[in-house]
Amino acid sequence: MRIIYLDIDSIRPDHMGCYGYSRNTTPNLDKIASQGVRFNNTYCAASPCVPSRASFVSGRFGMNHGALTHWGPGGQFHYPEGDFHSKEVPFFTRYLREADYRTITFSSFGDRHHAWWYFAGWNEVHTHTLKGGNEDAHEVNASVLPWIKQNGKEENYFLHIQYWDPHSKYTYPPKYAEQFADEPAPAFPDEETIQRHRRDSHPRSATFLHWSDDYSKIPKETMPLEIADRNDYRKLIDGFDGGISYMDACVGEIVEAYRELGIEDEICFIISADHAESFGEQGIYLEHGMATESVHHIPLIVKVPGVTKPGHVNDDLIYNVDVMASVAELLGLAKPSGWDGRSFLPALRGEEMEGREYIVLEHGLYACQRAVRDQRWYFIRTYHEGMYEFDEVVLYDLQSDPNQTVNVAQEHPDIIELMEQRLEHWVTENLNKTGRAIDPMQEIIQTGGPFRYMLPEQWVGRLEKAGWNKQAEALKMKYSGRE
């Protein structure tokens, strides 16, 4: 079996045609989806980049692999000590390779994030540039396409291809954003909501859209400097959609390369993401912070010739770590005892499967949060809010409030109690599973909080420079005793 895993950074499913988006952003991905199974409720177990891809290579939840932030305490990948490799928690890549599958990655992720554990197990690692994730899709394809031409007809390989284009910065040819000039942007957030968001002083707010006030490094053709109104919001969405469109065009080149080899219909495709992106939800723009729906809800499309039922749609709650368990079963391999995922192989055949009642999601980079989501409710427990303002307990009714704008925790104490019980059970179960003395989320909190890319005192300086002295003083006082 030839398996192609398309790992698309920061893409939201609701910006893809096969998930109902009105703009024609993903014609090539949509065609693959029509030939396979589309999963509507897939979530990365831990966000953002490092926690999620640590789950990809390990098959484990963030709490269990230990890398809940990008570096420092609470961000250290945990692997059993010893002279050789664990059979209980093997690296996904190594596990496939031991089963005589050639494993290849075209990704600069490990280089960008100093995540040296990412390189374990691959037969081949291609970083293709030293830009560390700032390369465009054509630069990825410049390395991938020759590989396919030379090796594509071989049997039994797992080829991982990562595209960064939906992740800011948007450095692709501007015409890919300009093509959407006459098409409406999503209705949320409306003008009134944007103006309310303008009063927020946290990073990635409508006013402080970029981490730095050095706008010389911002590609102004594809990104606004701030979100002053719906026009700026539209430009931001055009930029995001342009990145998706450019990436999709390059996916078309991958498909064409296999068509030229005469084996297009024999290729297994898995299409997913490390995480998604906020565009106004919780007042955050252009960022993958928080354990929220907009960040954790990711696409998952699987096409396996001879197995998948074309056009089938699955609505079960799925984790990204389920992909590892499913690939293992698809190849006739037993799921290692230490992996956290469940196989969804029955769903690929169009069959009913035993779904989950709820899932638990984690984030530790910009805030320390865990969320519990079931088919109706989205609950968030905030342990440390970082430089944001977030209620300690939040409950959204996804049926009546899909954009998660109203905290209804006060109105539903019974649901809060249920969600707290679910979360406590999940944390206890996983701590017992790993035998770790301390929850990595607590490591982050106890060693100063979720501050990696920007310290509170640095953001205070940014606010003071912009004349937001009241907000700067409030942040200064909030963290005046921080170690």
Per residue in 363-388, pLDDT (tens digit) is 999 999 999 999 999 999 999 999 99
Averaged pLDDT for residues 180-188 = 96
Q: Is the pLDDT of residue 483 over 70?
A: no
Average pLDDT over residues 183-199: 98
Q: What's the mean pLDDT in 250-268? A: 98
- pLDDT attached to residue 482: 59
**Per-residue pLDDT tens over the stretch 265-304:** 999 999 999 999 999 999 999 999 999 999 999 999 999 9
Q: Which of 245, 242, 80 is nearest to 177 (CA)?
A: 242
pLDDT, position 434: 85
Is the pLDDT at 187 greater than 90? The verdict is yes
Query: Domain containing 246: what range?
Result: 2-354
> pLDDT by residue (tens digit) across 322-341?
999 999 999 999 999 999 99
The answer on 177 and 81 residing in a single domain is yes
Mean pLDDT, range 442-468, rounded to an integer: 96
Amino acid at 429: E
Q: Which of 294, 322, 354 is the last residue of a domain?
A: 354
Pick from 53, 63, 68: which is nearest to 111 by CA? 53
Residue carrying structure tokens 């944001």: 388
Name the token pair of 282: 């919780």
For residue 81, what pLDDT is reported? 83
306-319 pLDDT, tens digit per residue, is 999 999 999 999 99
Domain co-membership, 350 together with 415: no
With a cut of 70, say whether residue 481 has pLDDT above it: no
Asked if residue 320 and residue 393 are part of one domain, the reply reads: no
The contacts of residue 375 (CB under 8 Å, 6+ apart) are 317
Instruction: State in Å, rounded, how far the first CA of the chain is from the last one.
Output: 53
297-315 burial code (b ≥16 CB/10 A, e <16): bbbbbbbbbebbeeebebe
pLDDT band at 436 (very low <50, low <70, confident <90, very high): confident
Residues 394 and 442 grouped into a single domain: yes
Question: Do 175 and 320 belong to one domain?
Answer: yes
The CATH number given to whatever domain includes residue 444 is: 3.30.1120.10
pLDDT above 70 (res 240): yes
3-state secondary structure of 241: helix
Asked if residue 379 and residue 299 are part of one domain, the reply reads: no
Residues 167 and 296 in one domain: yes
Reduce the DSSP state of residue 281 to 3 states and report it. Answer: helix
Say yes or no: 349 and 387 in one domain: no
Burial (Cβ within 10 Å: 0-12, 13-18, ≥19) of residue 27: middle
Give residue-wise pLDDT tens across range 212-233: 999 998 999 999 999 999 999 9
- Quote the CA–CA distance of 320 and 273 in Å, as a whole number: 9
* 172 in the same domain as 287: yes
Helix (H, G, I), strand (E, B) or coil at 304: coil
Q: Which residue from 259, 270, 257, 353 is spatially nearest to 304, judged by alpha carbons?
A: 270
Q: Do residues 157 and 2 make contact, with C-beta atoms less than 8 angstroms apart?
A: yes
Question: Residue with structure tokens 């989950």?
Answer: 356
Q: Does residue 133 share a domain with residue 90? A: yes
Q: Is the dihedral of CA 192, 194, 195, 200 positive or negative?
A: positive
Q: What is the pLDDT of residues 71-82, one digit of tens each?
A: 999 999 999 888
Rounded to two decimals, the pTM is: 0.97
- Long-range contacts: 120-128, Cβ < 8 Å, 24+? 120/57, 120/91, 120/93, 120/94, 121/57, 121/91, 121/92, 121/93, 121/94, 121/95, 121/96, 121/97, 122/93, 122/97, 123/97
Average pLDDT, the chain: 96
Please work out, in degrees rounded to the nearest 5, the angle formed at the alpha carbon of residue 295 by the alpha carbons of 291 and 297.
Answer: 105
Percent of the chain with pLDDT over 90: 95
- Pairwise CA distance, residues 450 & 461, whole Å: 18
What are the pLDDT digits (tens) for 82-119?
878 999 999 999 999 999 999 999 999 999 999 999 99
